[in-house]
Amino acid sequence: MRLIALCLVTLLVLIQYPLWLGKGGWLRVHELDLQVAAAHEKNDEAKARNAKLASEVNDLKDGTGAVEERARLELNMIKNDEVFVQITGPAGKDGTAAPASTPTTNQVAKPGSP
């Protein structure tokens, strides 16, 4: 009787091995599910980035508002007859600008203005 029970347990273990640890086993399926979820998340981020870039390209092609905004922000350009006003505050302990309690104003006018 003991030999039959031992044989049945051995067969059970041999049958269960591929189910748990084999090529298509539960552990491998779980690992692949995690990889698929990570790939979906990465794809969603890429789609959002692509949509943002496509929107920016359309703005740059169609209108002058986006071009003007980039010129102002990235190149610090101003229009004719405009006055540029910059308000800065005292530097904080860590070197970053702290909230200004007494702001100073620097005005830069276009060349040739009094």
pTM for the model: 0.45
Same domain, 23 and 56: yes
The total number of structural domains that make up the chain: 2
**Helices within the chain (DSSP H only):** 2-21, 26-62, 65-75
Residue 3 lies in a domain: no
Residue 2 lies in a domain: no
Spatial CA neighbour of 103 closest among 86, 81, 78: 86
Give one DSSP letter per residue of 80-111, joined into a string: TT--EEEEE--B-TTSSBPPPSS-EEEEEPPT
Enclosing domain of residue 110 = 80-114
Question: For each of the chain's 114 residues, which pLDDT tens digit applies?
Answer: 899 999 999 999 888 887 777 777 888 888 999 999 999 999 999 999 999 999 888 887 887 777 788 788 888 788 888 887 878 888 766 666 555 444 444 445 445 444
Structure tokens at 101: 């309690």
Same domain, 73 and 84: no
